[in-house]
Every structure is written in structure tokens, then in C-alpha cells.
Amino acid sequence: MNEPLHPLRLGEILDRTAQIYRSRFLVFLGIATFPAGTMFVFFAAIVGIVQWIGPKASEGPTVANAIAWTLVILLALLIVPATAVSTALGEAAMSDAAARSFLGHPITIRNSYKTAWRRGWRYLGILLLQGLVIFVGPMVVFGIVMGVMIAGKVSGFAANDSSPLFGGLLFLMFIVFGVFAVWMLLRLCLAFPASVVEQAGAWSALKRATRLSDGTKGRILVLYILGVLLNQIMAWVVVFPAMILIALIPGLQGPAHARELGIAMTFCLYGAMFAVRALTKPVYGIGLTLFYFDQRIRKEGFDIEWMMQQAGMVEAVATQPSQIVGDSVRAMGAENATVDLAEDAHAIEIMEAVTVEASESASPEDRKA
């Protein structure tokens, strides 16, 4: 980053996000590939085993079928924790790389994941807390309210009751809980950048994110909307041409090859989801990290603090310790700090000389006054 830090408008944040992504495209893509690839491997393995079992089901219980079903159950049990761990580490690594790139520090896939791995439990805790607040909590409340409605036999629940009350209340609950989930997402989405940059614990990072997101939720919502649109457009661009090409393969045409065609289409769909997720995930990670720094600049004067740190005038943040900021200052600012301090010392000498000169040239009456 060559230009000085300053508050950014929404358009500038989006533009800077694209610049950072393009400048280190392979690094950010490599970071996003790990969590996306974890999901793809598990889904592909489950689908592949189930498809293999299909024709052999008529053979009855065999050792091979028993082993295959055991693998399916084992993969189904492991997919949630594996996805959670890979997602948490990927989010932290993405925030680390985006923050270092924004501050002008070199980045690599290995170093970003190494930083995330050191405090993996903390980042997993952030992800779980976000999931509980944004998804699990509303779903539990939704289930309880729906159970109460069913137990109370609200009009419209029975099949022979044409009243729209039950359906209307159900639709209203979907809207309310959906709005609540989006609102909480906007409040807590800066937790990973806050934790990575400031080395804050899981709960502290969530509280910090809540404070920093105040006043910028609308801009963050625009980022999410643009990300969803980009995801959908890329999905259409990738999936449909691939499916058309698979359907035109001569060896897969005809009713006799319908099963093979279905398997190929399924793997094509999951492969496209993996590719689109890996390509679009950095947009969210980089954009949210830029929003984090922008809010710190607006609310806490981080731009002034950063310039003073580069000049060697202050140490790294005392109240909010930052490993990334400290590393950047030590790596980038040592030489500049020496020059700036020398210039500051020279300026102070000039000011002192001018003061002495002015005081000597003043008349006795002016001195008494």
C-alpha cells in the first residue's frame, strides 16, 4: 500500500478490494481453496460411494456394501467438524493476508495459514459463536413458535381448514427471523479481522465487531449483495456450459447411459460449486478487512496512529495489541523512522532557534508585558 491511510467511500473500498485481489490473485485463491476443497472432497466421496452402492443393492447384504455404508456414515459424521475447522482457519488466513496486503506487507499462503493455525481454537470459537447467534438461535426459536402454533391448533393447520392464518404466520416468521439473521450477520461480520489484527479472544472479537460495524452496516450489506450476485453469475457461467458439454459426449448419450450421465452431472455441479466458492470467497474476506480498517480510521484515528508508528514516535498499540501492525512497522518502517526522526529533530532545532531569536530582538517593554 503506497498511498496514506484515509477514510474510504464505498466505491473506494470495492475498488481497493479488486486491486488487492488482482495483485495477489493466486495467493488469495490458494487460501480460499482449502475450505472450499474440504467440502468438495467430502461431498464427492459420499456421492461417489452411494452411486457405487446403487447397482449392488440388489445383491443383498455383502461385506463390500457394509464397508461402503460404514464409510458413508463416517464421512457424514466428519463433514460438519471438518468443514467448521477448515472454514474457521480459512477465514482467519484470509483476514491475515488481506490485512498484511492492505498495510503493504508481503503475504504467502503458508504464512497466512501458519498464523491462523497458532490460534485455531480461537477462530473456531468465533465461527461457532457466529453460527449460534446468526443461524442456530433463530432456528430454535422458530421451531418453538411453530410447535406452539401446532399445539394450539391455529386455524389453517389442518388439511381440511382453508384459513390462511397458519400460512400467513409462518411466512411472517420466515421474514422476521430472516431479517434478524441478516442484521446479526452485519453486526458480527468484522469479528475475524478484529481477532486476527488485534489478537483478541473470541468473545472480545465479537464485541469489538459489534462496535466497529455501527454506522457501516448498509455499506457492508451492499458488499454481500454484490458478492451474491457475482456468485450467481459465475455459477451460471461455469455450470451450464459444462453440463451442455457433458450432455454432448457421445459415450453418455442414450437411455442405457442415463445413470453415468447423472453421475457426471452431479460431479460437475459440485465441482462448479467448489470453483465458484474458491473464486468469490476472497471478495468477502478482503472487503470485510478493508471495512474493519476503515472503521478504525473513522472511529479511532488509526491512520494517525499508523503514521506515528511508521515514524517511530510511538510503540505498537498498547490498548489493542496488533501483531500484524507491529510486524509491518518493524519490517517497513525502520529505515523511514530514522529519516523521519532526524527531520523532526532538525525541525525542532529550527523552531527553538527562531524562538530564541525572537525573544532577543524583543524590546524591554515587550518583555515586561
**pLDDT, tens only, 156-190:** 666 666 777 777 888 898 999 999 999 999 999 99
What average pLDDT does range 11-23 have in this prediction? 94
Query: 327: which residues sit within 8 A by CB, 6+ positions away?
Result: 100, 105
The pLDDT value given to residue 248? 76
pLDDT band per the 50, 70, 90 thresholds, residue 335: very low
Highest-confidence segment of 53-57, 272-276, 335-339: 272-276
pLDDT tens digit sequence for 111-149: 999 999 999 999 999 999 999 999 998 899 988 988 888
Q: What is the dihedral of CA 241, 244, 250, 254, to 10 degrees?
A: 160
Q: To the nearest whole number, what is the mean pLDDT of the chain?
A: 80
CA 346 from centre of chain: 46
For the chain, the distance separating the N- and C-terminal CA atoms, rounded to the nearest angstrom, is 52
Contacts of 21 (CB under 8 A, 6+ apart): 28, 282, 283, 286
Question: In this predicted structure, what is the pLDDT of residue 366?
Answer: 44
Residues in contact with 297: Cβ distance below 8 Å, sequence separation at least 6, in sequence order: 5, 6, 7, 8, 303
The fraction of the chain above a pLDDT of 70, given in percent, is 76
Over 60: is that where the pLDDT of 356 sits? no
